[in-house]
Amino acid sequence: MASPSTRGQRRTAALLLSPFLGLFAVVTLAPLAYAGWLSLFTTRTSGLGFGGTESVFAGWDNYVHALSDPEFRDGFLVIAAYCAVYIPLMIGGALALALLLDTGLAKARSFFQLALFLPHAVPGLIAALIWVYLYTPGLSPVIDLLASGGLDINFLSADNAVFSAANIAVWEWTGYNMVIFYAALQAVPRETLDAAKVDGAGALRTALSIKVPMIRPAVALSVLFTVIGSIQLFTEPKVIYNASSAIGSSFTPNMYVQTAAFQNNDFGLAAAASLLIALFAAVLSFAVTRFSRRGSKS
């Protein structure tokens, strides 16, 4: 390669990359750094509370405070419970629906694809508004229906709030992931499937032993994005929170952060907690990526 061409490439790369990288630095890196700095300070009221507030260096105190605060830790337990319900149901459901479509047996396949995908076009907040109505006793036709079948459920109780939030997410994301899995299934080589048939594998066996393993990378990627999304859980419980006295203002880690910042004006704590959430998400997604990569190699 001649050097003028290399120089041209470098110059063009700088030109093409600078808008993204510049904004990335402003919108992601700088806030992270600033939050990191702020998280090391705490505000104290000086004197008897008349003299205003001052910022005091606190070292790791805010992190220790957050990590030892049962409310913050419980938020992660809520997320864990939520993931335990939501991820198997949503990924399993999306996979099953994609496999059903892929049997080629169903009529009106494109209609089903579109109808199942449709909830994804609804913003999360609106989905939550709709479902909270369907969860509200006295208003909900669903509750009436279940009650007439002898089933009394309070969707908004503290115990059920996790499931109610998970259901909203299942509703929103199953069809989306189904489309991804279905597309991946169509890329499975026909010869492999024919070979399985010759070997006498039934449709169920083919699905579980051949199709599912072959689209494993797509499933792993979906799980990764679902995990990252779950850690951010905020909108659905926030909307449920308004309708129900059963869940607290620190139900999820993000709600904890919001409460710390805007109800208690403890920005040092909010910054520390935010960074812990971001760190947790990054570590977890790194682990999921690592795990799925090792799995697909073996």
Partner 1 sequence: MTTSSAPPVAPAPETASTKDPATRPRRRGRTGKPPSALLSRAGVTALLALATLYTLLPLTWLLLSSTKSREDLFGTNGFAPGDEMHLAENLRHLFTADDGIYLRWVLNTVAYAGVGSLLASVFSVAAGYAFDKLTFPGKERLFSLVLLGVMVPGTAMAIPLYLLAAEAGLVNTFWSVFVPGLVFPFGVYLARVFSAAYVPDEVLEAARMDGASEFRAFCRIALPMLAPGFVTIFLFQFTQIWNSFFLPLVMLSDQDLYPVNLGLYVWYSSALSQGHPEDYLLAVVGSLVSVAPLIAVFLMLQRFWKSGMTAGAIK
In whole angstroms, the minimum distance from the beta carbon of 59 to partner 1 comes to 19
47 vs 126, which CB is nearer to partner 1? 126
**Window 47-66: contact mask with partner 1 (x via CB under 8 A):** --------------------
117-176: which residues touch partner 1 (CB under 8 A)? 117-127, 129-131, 133-134, 139-142, 144, 167, 170-171, 174-176
Among 92, 192, 245, 291, binds partner 1 (CB under 8 A): 92
222-261: which residues touch partner 1 (CB under 8 A)? 222, 228-229, 231-232, 234-235, 238-239, 242-243, 254, 257-258, 261
93-112: which residues touch partner 1 (CB under 8 A)? 93, 95-97, 99-101, 103-108, 112
Among 66, 78, 90, 162, binds partner 1 (CB under 8 A): 90
Find the part of the chain contacting partner 1 (CB under 8 A) among 30-38, 47-55, 72-80, 290-298.
30-38
61 vs 176, which CB is nearer to partner 1? 176
Question: Apex CA 161: angle with CA 112 and CA 284, to 5°?
Answer: 75
Alpha helices in 199-252 (DSSP H): 203-206, 212-214, 216-231, 235-243
Nearest to residue 131, comparing CAs of 207, 236, 227?
A: 236
7-26: which residues touch partner 1 (CB under 8 A)? 8-17, 19-21, 23-24, 26
Q: How far apart are the first and last CA of the chain?
A: 39
| Contacts (Cβ under 8 Å, ≥6 apart) of 116 | 97, 174, 175, 178
DSSP 251: S
Q: What is the CA radius of gyration of the chain?
A: 25
Cα–Cα distance, 104 to 100 (Å, whole number)? 8
Q: Do residues 62 and 272 touch, judged by C-beta distance below 8 A?
A: yes
Asked whether position 216 contacts partner 1 by CB under 8 A, the answer is no
Cα–Cα distance, 142 to 124 (Å, whole number)? 20
Find the part of the chain contacting partner 1 (CB under 8 A) among 46-54, 58-66, 67-75, 200-208.
200-208
In whole angstroms, the minimum distance from the beta carbon of 188 to partner 1 comes to 10
Asked whether position 87 contacts partner 1 by CB under 8 A, the answer is no
Q: Do residues 164 and 87 touch, judged by C-beta distance below 8 A?
A: no
Cα–Cα distance, 188 to 11 (Å, whole number)? 42
